[in-house]
């Protein structure tokens, strides 16, 4: 069956397109991108995108789907439904499942489960070390053959620099980026950012240096090995400064941040709302401004969600024992569009950080809209206002600090391989 999307403004940074274009899709593939496409087939489905933005499907390089082992928090089915609603057509799930994704059997399980139940494309990130213990390397070669696209011990930093060096050497062989969780465990023993808010609320705190010291170390290791390094969920002004300085000397460094780090500060923790507990913690206003500036000037390449769903019992407890994380798929686009409304980024620059840059990092054939390419795209509106209601989340995780917030900008349709996997039927006709 053919689908014709017409009337919308197509913004595709990869192919340098910004204007009113029609898109003709044949089965799983884009057949044609042009102005005023005429198609007379009786079986064609026409979608009216007038007044909306058409963009390549978003790619999230950092998410937690929890399956296998923590299906009470999230499943591949519910997580990908939430991702599709948020505008993501490809997501990369981290390895901290149970069992840990440190061998080809778990990698193959995730791949097959996603193939049968996933609403969007799921790629997996293999663990750097067995069981995330930081003691010995995982079966990197076997996981690569099974389809992993990156390596990470996310949730923990690899404490042993010698072991991380070996992992980087393997990563070069397989052209797999190392995604580094930057946190010195000896310094990161708190639950909130070390600053004025921690003094007020009395919670044990983690200083910025806990992140920055590992950012510096891991870049130095990567440069020594001549490997690619990607630094994930960057949260401090110091980290932005280090990365910006390092990029001038070494070109194989990239990084991402998450919407909560350019939206919230540590003041949000003063109410002891455990939905504001994340790792790394929400930082100061100075750090938030540095993150926004890093996005503006290109030091920060990618926006990722770090989607971390939890069941209510993991959050409805004292702050110090609550689980860390935010259910992020369904609010990421609207929170990020605030950067456009505030003139921090252009719409094209924002889309680039969700599409072109993550695709380049992971060597993926996605992130653009062109004839012969997979029909992965979204339709969204930057001006629609809506109120966040966690009870409407498709994710099992209702843990969001943005419940009740009025946001501006909403995804309306998501297509993966030519199949509509999410549609707001009130806004998109056809």
Kind plus residue range of the DSSP H or E element containing 216: helix 209-225
Measured distance CA(27)–CA(276) in Å, rounded: 43
In sequence order, what E strands does 75-199 have? 88-93, 121-126, 150-151, 178-180, 192-193
Phi and psi angles of residue 389, each rounded to the nearest 5 degrees, phi first: -130, 105
Measured distance CA(411)–CA(409) in Å, rounded: 7
22 is catalytic: no
For the beta carbon of residue 32, count every other beta carbon within 10 angstroms.
Answer: 16
Phi and psi angles of residue 255, each rounded to the nearest 5 degrees, phi first: -155, 165
Structure token pair of residue 281: 């913690």
Structure token pair of residue 164: 């991380």
Kind plus residue range of the DSSP H or E element containing 108: helix 104-117
Measured distance CA(54)–CA(27) in Å, rounded: 19
> What's the Cα-to-Cα distance from 74 to each of 58, 122, 332, 395, rounded to whole Å?
20, 14, 18, 7
Measured distance CA(234)–CA(231) in Å, rounded: 7
List helix spans (H) across 120-160: 140-146
> 184, 306, 383, 389: which is the annotated catalytic residue?
306
Active site residues: 306
């Amino acid at each position: 069956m053919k689908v014709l999307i017409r009337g919308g403004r197509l913004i595709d940074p990869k192919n340098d397109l910004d204007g009113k274009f029609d898109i003709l899709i044949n089965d799983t593939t884009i057949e044609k991108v042009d102005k005023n496409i005429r198609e007379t087939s009786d079986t064609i489905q026409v979608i009216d995108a007038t007044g909306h933005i058409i963009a390549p499907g978003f790619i999230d390089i950092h998410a937690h789907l929890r399956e296998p082992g923590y299906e009470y928090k999230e499943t591949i089915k519910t997580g990908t439904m939430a991702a599709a609603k948020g505008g993501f057509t490809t997501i990369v799930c981290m390895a901290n499942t149970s069992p840990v994704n440190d061998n080809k059997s778990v990698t193959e399980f995730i791949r097959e489960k996603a193939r049968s139940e996933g609403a969007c494309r799921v790629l997996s990130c293999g663990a750097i070390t067995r069981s995330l213990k930081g003691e010995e390397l995982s079966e990197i070669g076997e996981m690569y053959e099974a389809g992993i696209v990156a390596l990470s011990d996310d949730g923990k930093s690899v404490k042993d620099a010698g072991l991380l060096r070996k992992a980087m050497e393997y990563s070069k062989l397989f052209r797999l980026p190392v995604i580094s969780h930057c946190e010195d465990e000896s310094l990161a023993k708190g639950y909130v950012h070390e600053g004025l808010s921690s003094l007020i609320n009395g919670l044990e705190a983690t200083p910025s240096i806990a992140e920055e010291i590992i950012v510096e170390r891991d870049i130095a290791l990567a440069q020594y090995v001549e490997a690619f390094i990607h630094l994930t969920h960057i949260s401090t002004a110091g980290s932005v400064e280090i990365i910006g300085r390092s990029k001038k000397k070494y070109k194989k460094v990239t990084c991402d941040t998450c919407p909560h780090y350019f939206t919230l500060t540590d003041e949000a923790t003063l109410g002891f709302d455990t939905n504001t507990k994340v790792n790394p913690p929400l930082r100061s206003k100075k750090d938030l401004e540095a993150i926004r500036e890093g996005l503006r000037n290109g030091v920060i390449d990618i926006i990722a969600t770090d989607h971390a769903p939890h069941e209510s019992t993991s959050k409805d407890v004292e702050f110090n024992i609550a689980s860390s994380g935010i259910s992020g798929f369904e609010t990421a686009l609207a929170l990020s569009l605030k950067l456009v409304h505030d003139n921090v980024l252009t719409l094209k620059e924002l889309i680039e950080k969700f599409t072109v840059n993550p695709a380049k990092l992971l060597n993926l054939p996605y992130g653009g809209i062109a004839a012969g390419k997979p029909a992965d795209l979204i339709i969204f509106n930057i001006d629609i206002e809506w109120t966040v209601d966690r009870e409407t989340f498709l994710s099992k995780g209702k843990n969001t600090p943005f419940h009740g917030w009025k946001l501006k900008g909403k995804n309306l349709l998501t297509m993966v391989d030519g199949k509509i996997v999410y549609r707001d039927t009130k806004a998109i006709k056809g």
